[in-house]
């Protein structure tokens, strides 16, 4: 190790800057700085040398060129253990720089603003900062690089403990963190440029030629899907305010990996509806869901979809939870793992956090106002790589229903069919959803999820619905390959059917409905969810 004799500080975020610089100066470290950082240090009464004075070359091009100079990068990259490097540095008057403290232009924050101009975003692409970070990180055997305000205290503590030196262990940790930061920064720029370019691009160019993924770990989770698996939560730089990864957890136990998976399914379903809506998710599938004039009625109807499965489930609402909804949930015999909603009324929060079994257990997740479904890039890992696709943001309306039978569905049946179709899109394939609708809203009465055979999915949905299958509307996420599933549903009381169509046996399936006087509509859109 060698003592820190010279440090270069150039930061956009000035948090903790003066305290760090004062700690370095107290140890006799020479301070170099640029622009606003230099002014902040001078204003604090610290002795600091401007980089332009150090290099003998002025800042130019509106500050675009200031640290891109051999006296900066030579001071960072020169190996102190090689005589030829030391000789070259001495020959050209290059002084070693032992510590670099840089945080980058706030590009991510800039592009997150609504309506940001392209020119403004481009000006927030940092060039000198990443260059210094990479130079220092490459030469971490001799140079310490700090990109995170949280590490300022660690560095000062090490200088105190090691008589002005930073240990090799910490330098390695800081170098890793530095390369992770520049990688994430470049990923954010690449993603923004792609998103900017793909607006109006043809469908064949909706996914980038090179897909760069980055995320910041915000917490480690207790375990993954099972106790022997490790897990963590990461937030991507482009997270929206109503995204689950950016949500506020207001109370209850720590969220688990499985909680997050179920909550994401619940959130995606809740985005589908404008009217008051509640859904009950179990093992990544909806076992209950409903719309109603108010949230309390919606959760009452949703819970009735499958009261047995609803115990220990995850819930999502598209309105702030009110006290009536909270009182329904805490009634005897009901318990859930987590609740996600745009907000919680103070009185509802009091009910959910003070009642026995609820307060210390149930996770309350505040999402902010929910946006409508939006097209996103979804990624799934496979061995040796990953798959990417755009999200299923298609939402059918009455105009998309094509009646293919002699009997047309009633207005109430059409409402129930469309409601069931939105649910089927979020149920694991093969998916069958039975629903009922009335003047107050709609509700799920039976779900068959994730079956290898579609007729088995129908059988399970019918069993779940019981007597409520009578007069219900059925939605299938994909076509019926044979009439058997349709015939089973009609025999059990289903009164209207929706499917995408597209089977070579469509005519036989339609004929089966016509023989029984049951309307069937085609949407032309499949909604597999594997």
- The predicted-structure confidence for 309-321, as pLDDT tens digits, reads as follows 999 899 999 999 9
Per-residue pLDDT at 199: 59
Contact 514, 406 (CB under 8 A): yes
Contact 289, 279 (CB under 8 A): yes
Q: Say yes or no to pLDDT of 197 above 60.
A: yes
Mark out the alpha helices in 395-505 (DSSP H runs).
411-424, 454-465, 484-491
The confidence band for 126, taking pLDDT boundaries of 50, 70 and 90, is: confident
282 included as an active-site residue: no
- Each residue's pLDDT tens digit, 352-386: 999 888 878 899 999 988 888 888 888 899 998 98
- Each residue's pLDDT tens digit, 377-416: 888 999 989 898 888 988 889 999 999 999 999 999 999 9
- Each residue's pLDDT tens digit, 456-485: 999 999 999 999 999 999 999 999 999 999
- Each residue's pLDDT tens digit, 5-14: 889 998 888 8
> Residues 198-227: what's their mean pLDDT?
77
Please state the φ and ψ torsions of residue 165, each to the nearest 5 degrees.
Answer: -115, 160
Catalytic residue chosen out of the listed positions 92, 177, 283, 425: 283
Minimum mean pLDDT range among 215-219, 262-266, 334-338, 441-445: 215-219
Owner of token pair 């990417």: 388
- Each residue's pLDDT tens digit, 488-520: 999 999 999 999 999 999 999 999 999 999 999
Q: Say yes or no to pLDDT of 335 above 70.
A: yes
Instruction: Annotate 411-435 with b (16+ C-beta within 10 A) or e (fewer).
Output: ebbbbbbbbbbbbbbbbbbbbbbbb
Residue 74: how many other CB atoms lie within 10 Å: 19
73 included as an active-site residue: no
Catalytic residue chosen out of the listed positions 3, 14, 138, 177: 138
Mark out the alpha helices in 199-294 (DSSP H runs).
257-270
Per-residue pLDDT at 225: 92
Domains and CATH numbers, the chain: 6-192 (3.40.50.1380), 244-366 (3.40.140.20), 398-522 (3.40.140.20)
Per-residue pLDDT at 202: 54
* Whole-prediction pTM: 0.81
């Amino acid at each position: 190790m060698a003592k820190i004799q010279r440090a270069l500080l150039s930061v956009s975020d000035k948090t903790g800057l003066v305290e760090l610089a004062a700690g370095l100066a107290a140890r006799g470290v020479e301070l170099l700085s640029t622009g606003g950082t230099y002014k902040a240090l001078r204003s604090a009464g610290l002795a600091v040398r401007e980089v332009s004075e150090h290099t003998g070359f002025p800042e130019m091009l509106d500050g675009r060129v200031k640290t891109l100079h051999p006296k900066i990068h030579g001071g960072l990259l020169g190996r102190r253990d090689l005589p030829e490097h030391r000789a070259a540095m001495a020959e050209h008057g290059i002084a070693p720089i032992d510590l670099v403290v840089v945080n980058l232009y706030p590009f991510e924050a800039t592009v997150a603003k609504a309506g940001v101009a392209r020119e403004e975003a481009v000006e927030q692409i940092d060039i000198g900062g990443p260059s210094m970070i990479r130079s220092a990180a490459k030469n971490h055997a001799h140079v310490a690089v700090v990109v995170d305000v949280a590490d300022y205290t660690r560095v000062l503590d090490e200088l105190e403990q090691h008589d002005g030196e930073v240990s090799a262990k910490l330098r390695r940790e800081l170098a890793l963190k530095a390369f992770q930061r520049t990688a994430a920064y470049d990923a954010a720029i690449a993603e923004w440029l792609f998103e900017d370019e793909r607006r109006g691009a043809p469908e064949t160019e909706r996914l980038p030629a090179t897909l760069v993924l980055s995320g910041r770990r915000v917490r480690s989770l207790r375990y993954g899907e099972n106790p022997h698996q490790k897990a963590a939560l990461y937030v991507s730089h482009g997270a929206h305010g109503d995204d689950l990864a950016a949500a506020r957890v207001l109370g209850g136990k720590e969220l688990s990996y499985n909680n997050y998976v179920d909550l994401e399914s619940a959130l995606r379903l809740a985005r589908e509806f404008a009217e008051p809506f509640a859904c009950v998710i179990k093992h990544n599938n909806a076992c209950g869901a409903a719309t109603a004039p108010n949230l309390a009625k919606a959760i009452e109807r949703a819970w009735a979809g499958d009261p047995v499965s609803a115990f220990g489930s995850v819930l999502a609402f598209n309105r702030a939870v009110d006290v009536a909804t909270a009182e329904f949930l805490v009634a005897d015999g009901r318990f859930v793992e987590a609740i996600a909603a745009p907000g919680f009324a103070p009185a509802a929060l009091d009910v959910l956090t003070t009642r026995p079994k609820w307060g210390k257990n149930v996770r309350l997740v505040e999402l902010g106002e929910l946006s409508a479904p939006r097209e996103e890039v979804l990624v799934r890992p496979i061995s040796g790589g990953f798959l990417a696709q755009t999200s299923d943001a298609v939402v059918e309306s009455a105009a998309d229903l094509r009646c293919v039978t002699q009997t047309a569905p009633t207005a109430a049946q059409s409402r129930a069919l469309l409601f069931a179709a939105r649910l089927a899109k979020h149920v694991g394939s093969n998916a069958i959803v039975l629903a009922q609708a009335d003047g107050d809203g709609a509700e799920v009465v039976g779900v068959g999820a994730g079956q290898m055979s579609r007729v088995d999915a129908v059988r399970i949905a019918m069993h779940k619905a019981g007597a409520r299958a009578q007069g219900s509307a059925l939605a299938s996420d994909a076509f019926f390959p044979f009439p058997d599933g349709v015939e089973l549903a009609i025999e059990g009381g289903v009164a209207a059917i929706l499917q995408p169509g597209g089977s070579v046996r469509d005519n036989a399936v339609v004929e089966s409905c016509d023989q029984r006087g049951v309307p069937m509509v085609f949407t032309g859109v499949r909604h597999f969810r594997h």
